[in-house]
Amino acid sequence: MTSRSNQNNPCWVIKIGSALLTDNGQGLAVDALDHWVEQIARLKSMGFDVVIVSSGAVAQGMMRLGLDQRPTALHQLQAAAAIGQAGLIQAYEIRFKKFELITAQILLVHEDLSSRTRYLNAKQTLQSLLESNVIPIVNENDTVATDEIRFGDNDTLAAQVANLVGADQLLILTDQQGVFSQDPRKHSGATLIEHCDVNDQSLDQAASDKGGHWGRGGMSTKIKAARLAAHSGAETVITDGLIVDVITRLANNEALGTRLTHCEKPMSQRKQWLSGSVVSCGELVIDHGAEKKLLESGSSLLPIGVSAINGTFSRGDLISCVNSEGIEVARGLTNYNSDDASKIIGQTSEKLTSLLGYGGDEEIIHRDNLALI
């Protein structure tokens, strides 16, 4: 293997959904997979670095087991994933070998990215593979993941991978043309949103929460993924993966599907890690004034701005900051456990010592340990 000579190669993370890969449950979509691999090989010849986030392991396992419905029991899901994963990665390996390209399988669970050390290890592994001109194929490790620690869908995983590798673009290939103004299955007058700022709130109204039969993510998870990917500077395109030459046409700047751009400054790597963590240990309900300061000034969160606490947590745990409507606006590492935090919420800084019995931190969450969502 030879290391890439240009460290500034454009980098794309390409996510392929279950419905596409399994032809809506009919089995591995061989012709489509051939077409995608050929296009990605062309991208590689153009000097692109590519990471594939591939769904389809559970669906492929279901096909091999002759199951018509997605299992509900965890052990059955894990068994289907174990059976399907082997066939899925073999399909990629055989096809890329025709173009003299090497692939590597990366299986992740939430714990791999919620731990700062394991997060950095995953980042270094992916970077090393890209420097060696290898195509990493990433999937959630459904053989061991549980509902409590899973990413929830491969859209979220793809966004986190985009953060890990500092991708320029996240390409989400789906079975829909893109994001529409309304659900096109219900509204004949729905129009395709060709370009939009990723933080435009109209996207939330347009997106459907219902995923397909063979996958877990709906359009709303793709919008959330695009916003997460933007934290490291990546733009996102959501489009129909069955469009002829869709990948190479996008690489040649053709407008296809929905392009979600942003004007925000990329977060630091530490804050990317904080914002991308899936599971938080508790919640702080913040008032309007605190919310405004967090969003507009990047301030630390002080006790006086917190009106309520939900959950039990320890000092140093990751917790969410939600507004009065229950919408998460930030998350970060707390300076207090839940017992001590409950004693000081709504109070000014000069009262902390008398309330706690010791001299604590002025902030419940310092701005260096806090990331906006």
- The domain ranges of the chain are 11-271, 280-372
206-260: pLDDT as tens digits: 775 545 544 445 788 899 999 999 999 999 999 999 999 999 999 999 999 999 9
Residue holding tokens 């939600």?
Answer: 322
Query: How would residue 128 be classed by pLDDT, with cut points 50, 70 and 90?
Result: very high
Asked whether the CA dihedral 246, 248, 249, 251 is positive or negative, the reply is positive
* Separation of alpha carbons 86 and 137, rounded Å: 12
Q: Are 83 and 77 contacting, i.e. CB atoms less than 8 angstroms apart?
A: no
* Separation of alpha carbons 267 and 25, rounded Å: 39
Q: Please check whether the two domains, 11-271 and 280-372, share a CATH topology.
A: no
Q: Are 10 and 48 contacting, i.e. CB atoms less than 8 angstroms apart?
A: yes
How many other C-beta atoms are found inside a 10 Å radius of the C-beta of residue 196? 17
- Residues listed for the chain: 373
Q: How far is CA 166 from CA 270, 308, 351, in A?
A: 13, 36, 43
* Residue 5 confidence (pLDDT): 40
182-210: pLDDT as tens digits: 877 788 888 999 999 998 888 887 775 54
Question: Residue 43 contacts by C-beta under 8 Å, 6 or more apart in sequence?
Answer: 12, 50, 247, 248, 251
Q: How far is CA 352 from CA 17, 253, 342, in A?
A: 51, 56, 11
Radius of gyration of the chain (CA): 22
Closest CA to 264 of 227, 219, 289: 227
* Separation of alpha carbons 20 and 34, rounded Å: 12
The mean-pLDDT minimum among 1-15, 16-30, 53-67 falls in 1-15
Report the DSSP beta bridge partners of residue 310. 283
Query: How would residue 78 be classed by pLDDT, with cut points 50, 70 and 90?
Result: confident
Pairing verdict, β 370-372 and 135-140: unpaired
Instruction: Give the 3-state secondary structure of residue 104.
Output: strand
Q: Are 318 and 281 contacting, i.e. CB atoms less than 8 angstroms apart?
A: yes
Residue holding tokens 């000579």?
Answer: 5
Query: How would residue 142 be classed by pLDDT, with cut points 50, 70 and 90?
Result: low
Prediction pTM value: 0.78
Q: What kind of architecture, by CATH, is found in domain 280-372?
A: Roll (2.30)
How many other C-beta atoms are found inside a 10 Å radius of the C-beta of residue 311? 13
- For the segment 324-349, the average pLDDT, to the nearest whole number, is 93
* Separation of alpha carbons 47 and 69, rounded Å: 42
In the chain, where does DSSP find H-type helix? Answer: 18-21, 30-45, 57-65, 74-97, 110-114, 116-131, 154-165, 202-206, 219-230, 246-251, 269-276, 288-297, 338-344, 352-356
Written as six digits, the tokens of 112 are 């791999």
Residue holding tokens 């998350």?
Answer: 331
* Residue 188 confidence (pLDDT): 81
The rounded percent of the chain whose pLDDT value lies above 70 is: 91
Q: Does domain 11-271 have CATH number 3.90.1530.10?
A: no
